[in-house]
Amino acid sequence: MKEKRQNDASILHGLWALVFLLFIIAAVTAPLVLSGCSLQRTGLRPPLSEGIAFVSQQGQQDNINNEVYWAFRDGSLQINMTRSQASDINPAYSTHGNQIAFASDRTGNWDIFNMMDEGTPMNLTNNPMDDLEPAFSPDGSQIAFATNRDGNFEVYIINADGTGQANLTVSPAGSMSNNRQPAFSPDGSRIAFVSDRDGGMPQLYIMNANGSSQTNLRIDTASFYGHPSFSPDGGRIAYASNVTGDYDIWIMNADGTGVPTNLTNYPGASDIEPVFRPDGRIVFGSDRHDPNFEVYIMNADGTGVTRLTTNTALDLPRLYLPR
């Protein structure tokens, strides 16, 4: 009888061990969305630049409050980084992986905020007009952004601590052209941006990081060209365009030479907001499988398209606002 009890106890312990093991496996492999927590001190999460940042409305009852999220490269472990009652958009992280900048309307208008990992966001611009679309310099010391403080939108630059703001594009007096969506080259010497200064639809421009030598890369004012992002080697620029009727992700030489290549070419869908990752792949937003946008990733030649987010809310890499 005693032996039977011991056997029963052994079986029971074995069953509990199996249940515990299955629980651990499920916890590790299941998609996880976290809010209000920090994993930095535990060492469970790699630097920001080793994952993806994106904007999401998930978890919002009215689907109008945007939050900045971070996730692993496969879309797992999605963490709400901003957790505010305001809209937080346009995330950009430093290549060193310890800073994330974003635009927020928490002050009543759009300002640029900088946050060390998951610390307290610092308002860098604190201007009564709108400041949007931050982009880090490669060394993390400066941030380019778009602002309408001069009446029209101009590309400005600011130190990462909020000092030293300067206008880079400097439109002629009385000009109503808009200059937006700055993106640094990997070596920090150039900035791609979008401007409608030639009339018609916005076009892709490039300039030196001090604002000199502003050049139109694609002169086609009948079509939209925007959302530029440099490849890790600086030789190419990915962008979104509706030149075929639908919005697709394209890639071109950074000096404007050669023939651009359509990477997505998905009929009936809008593919927008490409962001090159350090590993050479491109994150982008698409509504190809959902009426709302989701975040995808692909190789730089357009192959290997993989969906990273799956929910009923909007998810986009940057969430650029209309001009």
What backbone phi and psi angles, to 5 degrees, belong to 258? 80, -175
Alpha-carbon distances, residue 59 vs 220, 299, 316 (angstroms): 40, 30, 15
Q: What is the Cα–Cα distance from 152 to 298, expressed in whole angstroms?
A: 35
Least Cα distance to 215 among 246, 265, 179, 256 occurs for 256
Domain ranges of the chain: 1-30, 94-316
Q: What is the dihedral of CA 180, 184, 190, 194, to 10 degrees?
A: -20
Contact 184, 161 (CB under 8 A): no
How far, in Å, CA of 102 to CA of 143, rounded?
10
Residue 234: what pLDDT? 98
Q: How far apart are CA 318 and CA 60, in angstroms?
A: 18
Q: Which pLDDT does position 189 carry in this prediction?
A: 98
**What's the start-to-end Cα distance of the chain, in Å?**
82
CATH classification for the domain delimited by 94-316, as one of 1.10.10.10, 1.20.272.10, 3.40.50.1010, 2.120.10.30 = 2.120.10.30
- Residue 190, Cα to own-chain centre: how many angstroms? 19
- Residue 131: what are its φ and ψ, rounded to 5°? -120, 125
**Residue position matching structure tokens 């001009």:** 323
**80: buried, middle or exposed (CB in 10 Å: 19+, 13-18, 0-12)?**
buried
* DSSP-assigned states of every residue in 26-91: HHHHS--EEES---TTTT-S--GGGSEEEEE-TT-SSS---EEEEE-TTS-SEEES---SS-EEEE
Q: pLDDT of the chain along its 323 residues, tens only?
A: 544 444 454 544 443 444 333 333 333 333 444 443 333 433 455 677 778 999 999 876 655 789 999 998 888 888 899 988 899 999 998 987 689 999 999 999 999 999 986 678 999 999 999 999 999 999 999 999 999 999 999 999 999 999 999 999 998 887 889 999 999 999 999 999 999 998 889 999 999 999 999 999 977 889 999 999 999 999 999 999 999 999 999 999 999 999 999 999 999 999 999 999 999 999 999 999 988 999 999 999 999 999 999 988 899 999 998 75
Residue that has been written with the tokens 């010391």 in this structure:
141
**CA dihedral sign, ordered 202, 105, 310, 71:** positive
For the chain, how long is the longest CA-to-CA vector? 98
Given this model, what pLDDT does residue 97 score? 65
